[in-house]
Structure 1
Amino acid sequence: IQKAGYATDPNYANQLIQVINDFGLNIYDMNGNVVGNDVIEKAIEAGMKWVGKSPYVWGGGRNQSDVDAGRFDCSSLVHYCYASAGITLGPRESVTTWSLINMGKPVPASEMKRGDLIFFDTAGRNGHIGIYLGNGKFLNDSSTQGVSIGDLNSAYWSRYFNGNVRRVVE
């Protein structure tokens, strides 16, 4: 590529790979089709449509009118995402972070992957939950930002991430 004049920076390949990973472009094939686990991608897609459009509502998301209006808290958002992909994580009406901590199987934090449930000690042990997106990012519904993308490497989230990771879909 470099000999042909397309890439003159010797770090071009590494920079390109970094951009692909940072923006999650590695989940698409050459035709723009999602590769990987369709259930996980459907769950994430369901939640991503609410990013920046849904404020945090403590106790929200436990009835259909709340869901239709995008009124969630962290645990009901996770429940909604997976229910949208055909995976039931217990009854919607009673979902909490403490009920979700028992779903799926535990995974070491060093092995977490896209779609895993990750827990934080913000409101007591396992008091907050999100869905891991990859590259240190996660989908969550926080009391200060509503449905948003968090960063595990930020000062705030790195302090509260407790290492509890659950895999509900392989």
Structure 2
Amino acid sequence: MAGCSSPPADATNTVNTVKALISTPKHNVAQTLPIHKNIFDGVYHNWKGTPYRYGGSSKKGIDCSAFVQVGYSSVYQKLLPRTTLELVKKGKQVKRNNAKEGDLVFFRTGRNSRHVGIYLGNLKFLHASQSKGVIISRLDNPYWKRHFWQIRRLDKY
């Protein structure tokens, strides 16, 4: 299993999906959420339960790096690289106790497998899980705690 470290079969389709989300007003999460809500709540509610599909980038199935790419672009209108291995080269590494909403959380899930999600705060992160699809998980969950790699902060604006 390679996790989310490889590009989808059709990378052009992912870029077009992201561009459509950025330009479509209904996906402007910042305008639709109450002030007290997490800015990624809209992303979660739009994608919740979408099944995991390696190389996928649509509601029919999406992998972790495509989900981060689509989610991040819908909130910050910023296009990110498509693969986990390219994402981990961006921004700067921050300590777990300094993590902020919107930081990217990386895991080493196997010898050559990597996983990425979006940190929400309070030890929670949003991601496309292989077993449960798009969900919110906790960093202190024994599985994720064991496989934790690093947190990176990107320039969001």
Could you tell me the TM-score, scaled by structure 2's length?
A: 0.69
Matches for 1:11-50 after TM superposition, within 5 Å: 33-34=34-35, 41=39, 43=40, 45-50=42-47
Aligned to 1:145: 132
Aligned to 2:73: 83
Aligned equivalent of 1:96, options 57, 60, 83? 83
Matching of residue 60 in structure 1 with residue 46 in structure 2: no
Matching of residue 72 in structure 1 with residue 58 in structure 2: no
Runs (4+) off by over 6 Å:
none
Distance 2:151 2:113 in 1: 10
Could you tell me the TM-score, scaled by structure 1's length?
A: 0.64
Aligned to 2:107: 120
1:84 partner SS: helix
> Unaligned regions of 5+ residues in structure 2, if any?
1-32
Aligned to 1:161: 148
Distance 1:60 1:124 in 2: 22
What do you get for the CA RMSD once the two structures are aligned? 2.3
Cα offset, 1:35, TM superposition: 5.9
Higher relative contact order (CA 8 A, sep 6+): 2
> Unaligned regions of 5+ residues in structure 1, if any?
1-31
CA contact (8 A) 1:46 1:84 kept: yes
Cα offset, 1:49, TM superposition: 2.0
Q: Determine what percentage of the aligned residue pairs are the same residue.
A: 38
Cα offset, 1:79, TM superposition: 0.2
List per-residue Cα deviations over 1:44-70 (Å, max 9, x = no partner).
522442122x00000111xxxx3xx35
* Count of aligned pairs: 123
2:65 partner SS: helix
Aligned to 2:29: none
Q: Residues 104 and 44 from structure 1, CA distance in 2 versus in 1: closer, same or farther, beyond 3 angstroms?
A: farther
Distance 1:48 1:98 in 2: 27
Rg (Cα) greater in structure? 1
Aligned to 1:22: none
Cα offset, 1:71, TM superposition: 2.1
CA contact (8 A) 2:44 2:135 kept: no
